[in-house]
């Protein structure tokens, strides 16, 4: 379902926003199941017209230090994923944002395609993939300790979510399948220095390494912008403080 952020103060506005307020929410991957809350509900409720950004929750960084999208039930070790909800589930016309149903062989379906359609209807909305969260922050500490690990982590997340190169499965995915869906990446590390799940990796150097990780996101996002001409942002929500690192 949709979890709202408070409206940001003028000092917190995005560069280039022209002084307008920024209002955002999380849309959770799993809301389409028990709560039966879909992207179309954001549009029909009127919420979409008031939003300027949505964080899609969540993406995972796995034990190989890379972003990926898989379908696997949680084992209690932060190793799950739901590619089906993300981009493989088919929507019929009645449940689709624009009233057009999915066809069997299209490479992008699920929440990603519905969010792409929502952005087309409400072009003021920017969409961020939120990495981590309470369940999937296990590997941030471990893979932010060296420059090489940070480079690999960031490159993999950009490849999957911004370049849109999705693993092929259940008739969906492929090179560039999700290109243009996400406008940036939200880092929801819960939490640097500890206090999260007992299985999370933790280091006394987390504060410094978190800063270096964000710098690496910024560096690679700048390279991507120079290549594509399309600005991409990163956001940090460590301890929900909302420290910003955006283009």
Q: What is the per-residue pLDDT across 164-198, written as a single tens digit (0 to 9) for each?
A: 999 999 999 999 999 999 999 999 999 999 999 99
Residue 240 burial class via C-beta count within 10 angstroms: exposed 0-12, middle 13-18, buried 19 and up: exposed
pLDDT at 229: 84
Written as six digits, the tokens of 103 are: 């066809």
Partner residues linked to 60 by β-bridges? 68
Closest among 38, 73, 71 to 173, alpha carbons compared: 71
Alpha carbon distance, N-terminus to C-terminus of the chain: 28
Torsion of CA 185, 151, 222, 108, to 10 degrees: -50
Each residue of 13-61: pLDDT tens digit? 344 445 578 999 999 999 999 999 999 999 999 999 999 999 999 999 9
pLDDT at 7: 37
| Beta pairing, strands 53-61 & 67-68 | antiparallel
Active site residues: 190
Measured CA to CA, the distance from residue 217 to residue 235 in angstroms comes to 10
Q: Tell me if the pTM is above 0.85.
A: yes
Residue 201 burial class via C-beta count within 10 angstroms: exposed 0-12, middle 13-18, buried 19 and up: middle
Q: Which helix (H) or strand (E) holds 153?
A: helix 147-157
């Amino acid at each position: 379902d949709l979890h709202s952020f408070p409206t940001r103060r003028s000092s917190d506005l995005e560069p280039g926003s022209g002084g307008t307020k920024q209002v955002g929410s999380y849309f959770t991957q799993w809301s389409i199941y028990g709560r039966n809350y879909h992207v179309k509900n954001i549009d029909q409720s009127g919420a979409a017209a008031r939003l300027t950004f949505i964080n899609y929750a969540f993406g995972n960084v796995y034990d190989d230090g890379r972003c990926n999208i898989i379908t696997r039930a949680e084992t209690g070790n932060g190793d799950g994923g739901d590619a089906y909800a993300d981009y493989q589930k088919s929507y019929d016309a009645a449940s689709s944002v624009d009233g057009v149903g999915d066809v069997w062989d299209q490479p992008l379906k699920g929440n990603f395609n519905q969010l792409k359609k929502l952005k087309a209807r409400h072009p003021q909305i920017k969409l961020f993939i939120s990495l981590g969260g309470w369940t999937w922050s296990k590997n941030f500490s471990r893979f932010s300790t060296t420059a090489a690990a940070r480079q690999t982590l960031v490159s993999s997340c950009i490849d999957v979510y911004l370049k849109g190169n999705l693993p092929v499965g259940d008739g969906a995915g492929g090179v560039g399948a999700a290109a243009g869906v996400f406008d940036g990446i939200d880092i929801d590390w819960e939490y640097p220095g500890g206090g999260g799940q007992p299985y999370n990796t933790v280091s006394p150097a987390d504060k410094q390494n978190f800063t270096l990780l964000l710098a690496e996101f910024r560096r690679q996002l700048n390279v991507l912008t120079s290549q594509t001409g399309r600005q991409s942002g990163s956001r940090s929500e460590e301890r929900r403080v909302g420290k910003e690192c955006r283009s």
